[in-house]
Amino acid sequence: MHTPELESMDLSDGYRAVGRWWRPAHPRGVVLYFHGIQSHGGWYEASASRLGEQDLFVFMPDRRGSGLNRDQRGHTPSLTRCLGDARECLDAALRESGQQAVHLVGVSWGGKLCAYLAGSAPDRVASMTLVAPGIFPRVDVSPLEKMRIALSMVNDRTRPYDIPLNDPGLFTANPERIRFVQEDSLKLEQVTAGFLLASRRLDRIAARLSFSEYRGPVHLMLAGRDRIIDNQRTAAWLRDLPSPNRRITTYPEACHTLEFEDDPSAFLDDLCRGITAYCAQGESVKAALPNRATHP
């Protein structure tokens, strides 16, 4: 497995965020890879490394307040700031790689950021791969917690609340990976009221992707035994998208985090094969375009 480079980037409000970078010498494309609500980039280094081995430039940022980012733990100041962070990561991936459009990969909660970027900047997104995306979650906070969160939005937006995913068995049935999640000191167990409000508003943005101008490829990868997201609603959402290139790959016996399966090779192969195929399609389109050389 290729070891990533850990580098910090300064966001526009001065926050210093850490990300993982895989930089092949001659990239055929660039992947911007978003992790989930409780996880961080370290959970998905195997798949990112496999993508890097396919000569894909990969940028996997740890979200503000997550993973290696200790400041503002579990918090985002606002939805505007959350979306701004995603756009700045997109800018950084394109700037560092020299590419014109990214291939988005989003796991769980990170899928919502992918849907936002595809809808808001369709000309800068070459494809989108959503791995058990959290656009339609089955797990939620209790009604009483929702009332407390609403009060906190008035009194204290930074008040922490438990993420309702603190059972590692929701992610995987693999005992080794269950221990990994249990012992992971970088995982988030709580997020703030401000983050939860931003996340709820982001749900609505992601659900309305079909009304955007995005027409690029979308690959939905689902776990058949997922207890975190609603597979049926997610598949119906995909079918409503106007993109002509839409497909679903389902792993019937897998749990939510496909990377944590006893043998994740089928998922890793499908992920790499899909994105490299999208890269090849992009090159075919470029080759078919007329030569627009300028003349004096």
User: In which residue are the tokens 């290729």 written?
Assistant: 2
Kindly report the pTM of this predicted structure. 0.94
| Residue 295, in any domain of the structure | no
| Residue 293, in any domain of the structure | no
pLDDT in tens, the chain (296 residues): 678 999 999 999 999 999 999 999 999 999 999 999 999 999 999 999 999 999 999 999 999 999 999 999 999 999 999 999 999 999 999 999 999 999 999 999 999 999 999 999 999 999 999 999 999 999 888 888 888 888 888 889 999 999 999 899 999 999 999 999 999 999 999 999 999 999 999 999 999 999 999 999 999 999 999 999 999 999 999 999 999 999 999 999 999 999 999 999 999 999 999 999 999 987 644 443 344 333 22
Of 132, 110, 111, whose CA–CA distance to 250 is shortest? Answer: 132
C-alpha triplet 231, 39, 249: angle, nearest 5°: 30
| Residue 150, in any domain of the structure | yes
Q: How many domains does the chain have?
A: 1
SS3 181: helix
CATH (domain of 206): 3.40.50.1820
| Residue 170, in any domain of the structure | yes
Range of the domain at 141: 5-285
| Residue 294, in any domain of the structure | no
How confident is the model at residue 149, as a pLDDT?
87
* Rounded CA separation 143/147 (Å): 6
| Residue 111, in any domain of the structure | yes
| Residue 115, in any domain of the structure | yes
| Residue 270, in any domain of the structure | yes
Helices (H), the chain: 45-53, 79-97, 110-120, 143-155, 175-183, 193-207, 231-240, 265-288
Give yes or no for a contact between 136 and 124, defined as CB atoms under 8 angstroms apart. no
